[in-house]
Amino acid sequence: MSKVTLIDYGAGNLLNVQRAFEHLGAQVEIATTPEQVLAADRLVFPGVGAFPQAMAELQARNLVEAIREAAPQKPFMGICLGMQMMFEQSEEFVLTPGLGLLPGQVKPLPHFSMTGEEMTIPHMGWAKIRPQGVSWQNTLLAGVAEENAFYFVHSYYAETTEPQDQLAVFDFGGHAITAAVQRDNLVGCQFHPEKSGAGGLRLIEAFLQI
C-alpha cells in the first residue's frame, strides 16, 4: 500500500484530497510538523487561499525549510495554490517569496482575452488541458486522453522560467495558461484532480506509481 503524507498548514480543507487518495488504496497521513514532512514517503501539498497568508502559515509552523529539504528527495505534488507555492515568488497582493522548488513567478490571470474581451476572474470550472511543447510520455499526464476536462478555481497562475517545466496548458481567452508542471519527481497541478472525476483519479494513481 502506498503511503501519502498531506501537508497541513491550517488553512485548507484536506478532506476531499484525502478521500481521493484513500479511494485508490493509499494510506494517508497528515503532516503538521517538520519531522512528519521529512519522514514522509511521498508528499502532497494542497493549497487554498492567498499566497502571502499561506507562506506565513508555513513559516509559523517551521515547515518551509522542511519542505525545501524533503521535496527534491521524494515524489512531491502541489495542487492549486500548492503548485503556485512551488515557485520562487508571487505577485498576489504583495511580492512574496515562495518555496523556490521551481524557477518562475506567480502572476494574475489576464483580465482581457487576446481579442480584447473582458475575462471572468476567478477562473472557475472545467477546462481542457493540452501539451505545451513537452511530450507527456513518461510523465504524470501520460494516461490523459486528448479529449479531457479538469476542474479549476483560481485567479493567479504560474509563469515558468524554464519551458520544459510547463507540462500542460489550457486556453484562457487565447492565452496559454499553465495547467500542470513537472521536473523529475516534482509535479504540480493548477486544477483540482480530487474534483476532476475519473480523469483526476487516474492522475492521482499515476502519482502513486512514481
Radius of gyration (C-alpha) of the chain in whole angstroms: 16
Neighbours of 110 (CB within 10 A): 15
Catalytic position from the list 123, 154, 194, 205: 194
* DSSP class of 137: T
- 80 part of the active site: yes
For residue 21, give the 3-state DSSP assignment. helix
Nearest to 205 by CA among 141, 153, 137: 141
For residue 184, give the 3-state DSSP assignment. coil
* Model pLDDT, residue 191: 98
Nearest to 144 by CA among 83, 194, 205, 185: 205
* Model pLDDT, residue 152: 98
Range of the domain at 96: 3-208
Nearest to 155 by CA among 103, 101, 106, 104: 106
Upper half-sphere CA count for residue 161 (Cβ side, 13 Å): 10
Residue pLDDT tens, the chain, 210 long: 789 999 999 876 799 999 999 999 999 999 999 999 999 999 999 988 899 999 999 999 999 999 999 999 999 999 999 999 999 999 999 999 999 999 999 999 999 999 999 999 999 999 999 998 888 998 999 999 999 999 999 999 999 999 999 999 999 999 999 999 999 999 999 999 999 999 999 999 999 998
Catalytic position from the list 80, 92, 123, 154: 80
Rounded Cα gap, residues 63 and 130, in angstroms: 33
Cβ neighbours for 133, distance < 8 A, ≥ 6 positions apart: 163, 164, 166
Catalytic position from the list 154, 189, 192, 205: 192
Rounded Cα gap, residues 189 and 109, in angstroms: 16
Rounded Cα gap, residues 56 and 128, in angstroms: 33
Rounded Cα gap, residues 67 and 26, in angstroms: 21
* Model pLDDT, residue 132: 87
The secondary structure element, H or E, covering residue 129 is strand 129-131
Nearest to 163 by CA among 179, 146, 181: 181
CATH number of the domain within which 103 lies:
3.40.50.880
pTM of the model: 0.95
- Number of domains the chain contains: 1
Nearest to 28 by CA among 43, 38, 39, 13: 43
- The three three-digit cell numbers of residue 207, written as one number: 502519482
* Model pLDDT, residue 12: 66
